[in-house]
Amino acid sequence: MTTVVALLAGAVIGVLLGALGGGGSILTVPVLVYGLGQGTGAATTASLVIVGITSVVAAAGHHRGGRVRWAPGLVFGLLGSVTALLGTLAARHVAPAVLLLGFAVLMLLAAAGMVRRDRHVQARDDAPAEAGRDTRVATRTRTATGRRVLLVSAALGVGLLTGFFGVGGGFVIVPALVLALQLPMPVAAATSLVVIALNSGAGLLARWGHLDIPWHVVLPFTAAAVLTSLLGGQVAQHVPARLLTRGFIALLVLVSAYVAVRAGTSL
């Protein structure tokens, strides 16, 4: 039964990761804890393995489609790798229930960020052509220093989240790449997978010697996620991005509420 649940969960996470370029990985830890009965420490470590491998495969698929920008992805990921190490060390000193409550808050913040991004996209699409030109001019006039500060801050913050919670952080990476580098959304989503893979590797490196990986869960979960991440890229081309985003936002809110209740009652 555990293998079946792992395969189904991996399939869902893989589709979300491939379609949204991250974001979907934030559901991995709650699924591992409440759906597959793993401890918090084992779940966050297993999540790094699952998300890291799946991101590598999904990034390769996007690379073949010419959507990955390797230079900014590598710089972003290497910066985040530093704080991923720190986040991993910090997580060892936090009680499991407190960590899960923090995770619930993180999911709500991710949902709020995606709502804001969705409204921004809708406003941009609904704006008259002249207003759109004005917005593009204003974007180009942002200072190079401001863009660098945004990119570095986001990279360091995402790395910390990856190490602490075992998440990829695509919900932060994608907007940062769009705002700081003016990358188109599909390109930013694809490039974020490179960042997620690097940060996940750094988080695992920091746990070396303390690795607690439930391979009987990780292997089927990862295999399903890898296979369906390729499908997710196809889904993104045929299903409206707004529909995918709104459905995922609703799912995040529901899972966050469930995690908060379960973790709160265990304190």
Taking only the tens of pLDDT, the chain with its 267 residues reads: 789 999 999 998 888 777 765 566 788 889 999 999 998 888 888 988 988 888 888 888 888 889 899 999 999 999 999 898 888 888 888 888 888 898 888 888 888 877 876 676 666 666 665 555 554 444 454 577 777 888 888 889 888 888 888 877 777 788 788 878 888 877 888 898 899 899 888 888 888 877 778 899 999 999 998 888 777 767 767 777 677 778 778 888 888 898 899 888 877
CA distances from 145 to 83, 149, 179, 236 (A): 22, 6, 13, 33
Residue 68: the pLDDT is 92
- On whether the CB atoms of residues 147 and 181 are closer than 8 A, the answer is yes
Residue 8: the pLDDT is 92
Q: How far apart are CA 159 and CA 136, in angstroms?
A: 30
CA distances from 62 to 25, 93, 178 (A): 17, 38, 17
User: For the chain, where are the alpha helices, taking DSSP H only?
Assistant: 2-20, 28-30, 40-64, 70-91, 96-126, 129-140, 144-165, 170-181, 185-206, 215-238, 241-265
What tokens were used for 12? 């869902």
- On whether the CB atoms of residues 211 and 45 are closer than 8 A, the answer is yes
What tokens were used for 65? 């489609």
Residue 126: the pLDDT is 64
- pTM summary value: 0.78
Residue 130: the pLDDT is 53
